[in-house]
Amino acid sequence: MRRMSFFETQIQIRNKTKTVTRSMGWNDLMPDDLVLPVNKCQGLTPGEHPVILQCPIRIIHVNLEPLFVIEHEHPGDLIKEGFPTLTVDQFIIMFCRINKAKKCKSTSYVNRIEFEYTA
């Protein structure tokens, strides 16, 4: 089973309060795919292994859209992303900081991935 990293939202995944994530990758993800949420997939030191955070998640919906439409197209997505206290601008700044190597901007197209927990 493929593994998806949730390094910045480990607590939200463990608590099952996160049901949407955005990514500049995962272009081949399809509805009904099962993915195992882990703490991280890359940057592991020798001998380090990913930590499984939760039961597998089932992908419900995936669509490509500009990052800045987060609350315009999907009201409540800041809560579903696990960041209920952030503004849209704060979320975009954080997302782009995390994805700095990919030249992220508010106009960058990202995959909005909606999922559910299988248990």
pLDDT at position 25 is: 93
Of 101, 9, 104, nearest in space to 66 by CA: 104
Give pLDDT tens digits for 23-75. Answer: 999 999 999 999 999 999 887 889 889 999 999 999 999 999 999 999 988 89
* Contact criterion met (CB below 8 Å) for 34 and 1: yes
SS3 at position 110: strand
pLDDT at position 68 is: 95
- The alpha carbon of residue 42 and the mean position of all alpha carbons in its chain are separated, in whole angstroms, by 15
> Could you tell me the two tokens for 10?
């480990």
pLDDT at position 8 is: 93
Class of domain 2-117: mainly beta
pTM of the model: 0.92
Half-sphere exposure (CA, 13 Å, Cβ side) for 71?
12
Domain boundaries, given as residue ranges, for the chain: 2-117
pLDDT at position 94 is: 95
